[in-house]
Structure formats: C-alpha cells, structure tokens
Chain A
C-alpha cells in the first residue's frame, strides 16, 4: 500500500487540516513510513478473532434520563474565540 500525493491531499481534507501543495510529497513519505511499520499486522491470521470493543469486561452504566446541569451560558461561551449575543460566532456558512 503506497500513498501518493493525491491520497495525502484527500486525507488532509478529510482531517480538516490545511496542507500546502508543496508539503504534500513529504507528507506522503511520512505516511508511507508509518504505514510500512503497521503493515506487519497483515502477517497474522485473525480470521477467527473478535475485534476488541472494551478492554475490561464491563456493562456501561446508565444514568437517569434527567436534566442534571445547565443554565451556564456565560461559562460555556467564556472560552470562545468569538461569541456574540449569547452565541458562538463563526464565518458565514450559507451563501
């Protein structure tokens, strides 16, 4: 499995991380080094093995379906890079 420039660009796009055109070949090389390392996993026969879901056997606890917190608008917005009139503010989404 070898990653080319176009695949590297696609992965960067999916990850929502801007990568300059000029940096794509180096990125593809790094991916290939790491993927070469994890390629060893293909040596094993895992056809009868269940994929691990939880490392410790546990039933996830359920909580009561009730409101236990809230009314903290100021706290929620306190760390926002841009908050206006009680909302998070972002650039225009819809034209």
Chain B
C-alpha cells in the first residue's frame, strides 16, 4: 500500500485487520516521514525503538485476533504527558532531563489498546501560549502556507506540534490538551479535527498540570470518525484523578449516523465580534446553512456573559498555574540553577525558576501570585470564580431551552505568521476568544475543518455540546464534516 501515513485511523484499522498492511510497515512509514520533517519542529523527542517494539507487539495481537481499534495505530504524544522512561518536559527548560518513572493514565490507555507511540510533540511551554512560540525547543511550524508566500505560519498552540504532525501526515493522530482552546485552535489552524471532552472525561493523572480546573486531554485527528475512535480510547474513569467522572464511555463511532434532523443548533449572537474578518463571518453563515440543509433547526441564542470569559480565564488560569508550578523548585526533578558561593535555599529557588521558566510562564505565575495575594483575592480571584458561575449558567439556560449544540467560529482568524503577535500578550490571548468559554463551563467542544480562506489557509468551526454528550456532539460534527467536504491538504515543502 502506498502513502500509509495518509491513512485515517479507521482506514488503517480496517487495513490492518484485513491483513493489507502491518503495524510495523505503518510505523516505519511514519518514522521515515518524521525524519524527513525536522523543518516542522513537530516531534521533539523521537522514540523509534519503542515504536517498533510496540508495532511488533501490535502485529502479534492482530494475528491473534485480539486487536482493539487502536491496535497498531502510530500516534504522537504531546510533551505534556508523562511517558515512562521518555523525556517529558512540557516544553520547558525547568523539566530538562526529567524522565518519568510512570506513564500518564491517558497515554497508558492508548498504549494498552495497542497504539504505537512515535515520540513526543512540541507545544507551548506548560501549555501557555497560542502559537507554539513559548516552547524551549523552538516553535513548531504550520505545514500550511498562505498562497505563494513562503512565510512560516504558526500551527497554533498550545498543541502546535500535535496539529502540525497530524496535518503533515507524520502520524495518524495525536494527543492534545486544552485549557483555553489548546486543542481546538491549533486544529482549526491546520485543517484537522480536535475534540476537547467534558471536564472529567479524561484522567488528568500524569499530565503536567497547568490549570487543574480547566485542563482536559483529547484527540487531534484527521476526521471526526477518528476523533470518536481515539477519544473513546482516551476517556474513562480513573481512581487516581479525583475529578475523573465515573461514567460509562459510549461507543461514539457507532453513534455517527449523520442524522441530525430536528436537532436544535444555537447561534450565540455574542460571538459576532467587532472587527471579525468577513471570511470568518461567511464561514459561520455557511456552517449554519449546512446544518440546516441536514435537517437541523437553527436558533439564535444569547450567552450574555461571553465577553467576560477571557478576563475571567486570565485570572483563574494564572492563579491555578502559580500554585501548580510551585513544585518546580530545583529539588526533586529537572533543572537547578548554578549557585554562587554563599547562596542559600531561597536563592536556589529564585534563580532556578528565573532561569528555568520562559518569559510567558514567569509572567503568568507572577500574575497568578498577584491575584491570589492578600488584599486582591476577593477583587480578582473570587470575582472571576463568580463570573465563571455566570458563564456556565448561560450555557445551562440555553441547553434547558432545548438547544442540542452550539455553532461558533473556532478562531477569530486563520493561522498567522510566526513572530507577529509575540510582543503583546493580550493580543495573543484574544486567539482563545471563542474557545475559552467552553473550558470555563466544563463542556465538550469540537473543532471541524470547514473551508479555506482566500489565501488557501484552513478555517474551522466549533461545535459546543452538552456535558457528557460527546457522542451527539461528534455526530453533529460528522454531519458538518460531510457537508463541508473538506479534503484540502498542505502542499509539501518540508
């Protein structure tokens, strides 16, 4: 079979079960593609030996007839996931050299299902960023380019390496994590599918923590069907994460009928932003038409507290980060600064954290420290938690009034040039304007590629679902995917 790396999970699964190819052949094809794609900066730790060992084991399971859906499927793992014996440093200098003696629950579930880990994927440092430019490894690059320009574009962030790797066919799928949009924004920027599950669906155990009340892992794939398959394998109850939901995970793939007749799709008027590019507006309108043509009922709705989501997020996420990142002190793992004669333990902490964290991480840890400090806790942190209650209530009222899912743009623009927004943190934060509400409300969100802009860059739409209703959400996404018929791929330049 030619072009093994271009297969979807579903196609590869079926080919493996028919005996048309082997897990070793698939894995070797991906490893060759990865080695030829260093210019993308997607894979930052390659694990070819582990991959081939697992591929051989997968072939044995396939031969024995004991092959779950992901058996023999080569995937990439975001650097935020702890992987046993393999560097896991959240794209930060402060975790340089760290090799976890354990495996995160999500990556262990994928491993046990027979998935083949090809290596670790680039990301923004500690998942803080929207362009992959805060990474200690250097940025990943979007395989897409605008028109005839050869300017390097961001793959988005924080799961930028995952998005670039899947879009460039270096792996069949990848894991991502999403705290404010870090799966959906890069998926939209690279023309792939990204699912952020309901908070509590995927165990957070063994995933480096950023903002624990918002973080959620999810699949980044070439199709909605693949997101259904891989998502189901990543989810499930884990006693090691006290916020993990003890609920059964349905067979999402079996729910992909494409029949959405009578489903009520809400269109929130507050997502029509001032200065929104006409192309995004047009894409959103087309999305409404496509869902209406498929038999859905389109209804205008209001989510009145939307504009307060980003400011609330930029209190809550840094506050939680300042607490979570307190553990990086140069004592138990990772980097320790060189000390001067006479330096004590406080100097060790301060120098280690100044040298080990990049500028954006330092900034957020300090903002978080400030909003939690005496005198400001009520004015900022408690107020933001109250606003979060209001944002969640907006969604609850929409769903209670009969809305099944909500359609919005995924991002306020197509992928932008690397280096263009680096100087202004607040401008960078605006990338998450359509996605961050979903994290604050703990809901599932799905980015589906829906078209190209005038420069030929992919644009995505976002669907927001009810809590624990990923199956229905994926089915609506499947209908949208079929109607949009997005088949474009980036022209290979790397």
Query: A82 an interface residue at 8 Å Cβ cutoff?
Result: yes
Query: Contacts A18-B351, A41-B311, A80-B332; is A11 near B386 (CB within 8 Å)?
Result: no
- List 10 A-B pairs, minimum CB-CB distance, nearest first: A55-B442, A51-B385, A79-B333, A81-B336, A18-B350, A46-B386, A18-B354, A49-B386, A15-B369, A38-B311
Q: B6-14, B62-70, B341-349, B445-453: which lies at the A interface?
A: B341-349
CB closest chain-B residue, reference A49: B386
B99 to chain A, nearest CB (A): 7
B-to-A contact residues, CB < 8 Å = 97-101, 198-200, 213, 239, 242-243, 245-246, 305, 307-308, 310-312, 314-315, 322, 326, 329-336, 339, 343-351, 353-354, 357, 362-363, 365-367, 369-371, 373, 379-380, 382-390, 392, 424-426, 429, 440-442, 467
**Residues of A participating in the B interface, judged by any CB pair closer than 8 Å:** 3, 7, 11-12, 14-19, 27, 30-31, 33-35, 37-44, 46, 49-56, 58, 60-61, 63, 72, 75-76, 78-82, 88, 90-93
- Taking a contact as CB atoms closer than 8 A, the residue among B101, B307, B363, B373 that contacts A30 in the complex is B363
A17 to B325, CA, bound (A): 12
Residue of B nearest to A75 (CB): B101
Q: Are B392 and A79 in contact (CB under 8 A)?
A: no
Contact A52 B386, beta carbon cutoff 8 Å: yes
> Chain B binding site: helix, strand, loop or mixed by DSSP?
helix
In the complex, what's the smallest C-beta–C-beta distance from A84 to chain B, in angstroms?
Answer: 13
Q: Which residue of A lies closest to B380 (CB)?
A: A38
Closest A-chain residue to B356, C-beta based?
A17
Residues of B within 8 A of A34 (CB): 314, 363, 367, 425-426
Q: Name the contact of A61 in the complex, choosing from B246, B351, B380 (C-beta under 8 A).
A: B246
Residues of A contacting B100 in the complex (Cβ-Cβ under 8 angstroms): 79
Q: How far is the CA of A27 from the CA of B363 in the complex (A)?
A: 8
A66 to chain B, nearest CB (A): 13
Assuming the contacts A16-B350, A81-B330, asked whether A50 and B386 have C-beta atoms less than 8 A apart, the reply is yes
